[in-house]
Amino acid sequence: MVISNKPLRFIIATLVACLPLFGFANATQDSLKVPTETIAVVQESAPKAEDEKSEIKEKIKEVINHHVLDGHEFSLFSDEETGAHYGFPLPIILWDNGVQFFSSSKFNHGESVAESNGNFYKLHHEKIYKTDAAGTLTEEHGHPTNAKPIDLSITKGVLTIMVVALLMFLLFSSLAKSYAKNRGISSGFGRLFEPIVLYIRDEIAIPNIGEKHYKKYMSYLLTIFFFVWFLNIFGLTPLGINVTGNIAITFGLAVITFFITNLTANKNYWGHIFWMPGVPTPMKIILAPIELLGVFIKPFALMIRLYANIFAGHIVLMSLIGLIFIFKSWLGSSLSFLLSFAISTIEILVALLQAYIFTMLSALYFGSAVEEHHHEEAH
């Protein structure tokens, strides 16, 4: 039997039109009671959910700040329920009317006041301030105004630099010894880095500095490449180390390149800065200050490039990981996890790339400092 479409459409339309009548068939009291209870539950749960989200966001900010900033103790992880911190303290060295030496465990993770030779110190956001016995901090515009002693402490970043320096010494000293023992053939674990050493010599040092002068810069170029690379790799571990993302470290590296460039430069280098050959005298007077300014801009560019790339990478990666705890859903958490994994993979490449760029630019500056200009070329 075939049913016509028109009667079928009429029946479906009638049922849809009558649905509101079936909905109002219940008692008026019940229909009003359910929405009222629902609204009350929603009103009670909404502030709790907002407070929970804001609390999670604050915790994520604290974790990010703890990760990117240097620390006076090496904290691996902590348990929020018990309040236990797992790690080890580091030595505190202060200059305040003499040397003050004590362990960072006296600060009790920033909750206690440390005493040394009658002086009292408080740790606030990884900065040490001089206080009274109660640990009072006077703040102005949200920042403490207490006196700060000269901090010479071995922080988490300093300890990492020492570890990397020791690791490099052991690796490359064994590589050098293997050359002497095996008549120019490398052996051992250091053999893995031999192609990189040859690449820096053949593709960075010689083309940019020249075969005549490259040897006296090779030790620095190799040191700076592996030093930056190893520190960047340590920064990708869960240990919370961010050395090259600290502008003080990149400033120090840039200053070393600056001094080597200018102290080993020849007279042609300074001649092309202060009195360029082949240029009219009025233009020399105008261009000399600009060229001199460029001498200081070069290390500044080195400092900012390394610092900004590493620091931004850490912030983005930690923020994506924090989104997993904010979303609390299979879709948002999965996307955040995939993005975090992708960014981590990219950061491994960036760690090597930034070491290469720093070494390449340093070689370019060294090459410009020792470049020889002939009189015929100037004309």
- List, for residues 218-251, the tens digit of each pLDDT value: 999 999 999 999 999 998 887 778 899 889 999 9
Same domain for 220 and 282, yes or no, is: yes
Which one has a higher pLDDT value, 21 or 194?
194
Same domain, 203 and 290: yes
Pick from 5-9, 194-198, 288-292, 341-345: least confident: 5-9
Contact between 214 and 205 (Cβ < 8 Å):
yes
The pLDDT value given to residue 191: 79
Q: Is the pTM of this model over 0.75?
A: yes
Q: Is there a domain that residue 213 lies in?
A: yes
Residues 96 and 165 in one domain: no
Tell me the helices (H) and strands (E) count for the chain, helix number first.
11, 10
Task: Indicate whether 13 belongs to any domain.
Answer: no
Looking at 108, 124, 151, which one is the last position of a domain? 151
355, 352, 351, 375: which is closest to 363 by C-alpha? 355
| Domain end position, chosen among 120, 151, 182 | 151
Q: What's the mean pLDDT when you consider all of the chain?
A: 80
Is residue 345 a contact partner of residue 351, using CB atoms and an 8 Å limit?
Answer: no
Q: What is the CA radius of gyration of the chain?
A: 32
Position 352 in a domain: yes
Shared domain for 97 and 163, answered yes or no, is no
Residue 155: count other Cβ atoms within 10 Å of its Cβ: 23
Does residue 144 form part of some domain?
Answer: yes
Q: 12 lies in a domain?
A: no
Secondary structure (DSSP) of 2-51: ---HHHHHHHHHHHHHHHHHHHTTS-HHHHHHHHHHHHHHHHHHHHHHHH
SS3 138: coil
Same domain, 305 and 289: yes
Identity of the highest mean pLDDT range in 43-47, 220-224, 345-349:
220-224
Q: Are 91 and 346 in contact (CB under 8 A)?
A: no
Asked whether the predicted pLDDT for residue 374 surpasses 60, the reply is: no
Residues 140 and 264 placed together within one structural domain of the fold: no
Amino acid at 117: N
Q: Which of 107-111, 125-129, 165-169, 184-188 shows the lowest per-residue confidence on average (mean pLDDT)?
A: 184-188
At residue 44's C-alpha, the angle toward residues 38 and 48, to 5°, is: 135
Q: Are residues 147 and 160 in the same domain?
A: no
Residues 166 and 147 placed together within one structural domain of the fold: no
Identify whether residues 345 and 258 lie together within a single domain.
Answer: yes
Share of the chain above pLDDT 90, in %: 28
Q: Is 236 in the same domain as 295? A: yes
Tally of domains within the chain:
2
Q: Are 88 and 74 in contact (CB under 8 A)?
A: yes
- 187 and 139 fall within a common domain: no
Distances (CA, A) of 228 to 175, 201, 235, 330, 358: 19, 17, 11, 38, 8
- Kindly tell me the burial class for residue 73, based on how many C-beta atoms sit within 10 Å of its own C-beta (0-12, 13-18, 19 or more): buried
User: In this structure, is residue 370 part of a structural domain?
Assistant: yes
CB neighbours of 217 closer than 8 A, spacing ≥ 6?
Answer: 205, 209, 260, 363, 366
Domain residues for 306? 156-378
Encode pLDDT of 307-343 as tens digits.
999 988 888 888 888 888 787 776 677 888 888 888 8
Residue 183 resides in a domain? yes
**Up-side HSE of residue 216: CA atoms within 13 Å toward CB?**
12
Q: Exposure pattern of 177-208 as b/e (b: 16+ CB <10 Å)?
A: ebeeeeeeebeeebeebeebbeebeeebbbeb
Structure tokens at 196: 């990189």
Separation of CA 357 from chain center: 17
Please tell me the number of Cα atoms within 13 Å of 26 on its side-chain side.
9
286, part of any domain: yes
Same domain? 141 vs 220: no
Given 132, 151, 170, which residue is the final one in a domain?
151
CB 75 within 8 A of CB 86: yes
Q: What is the mean pLDDT of residues 101-130?
A: 87
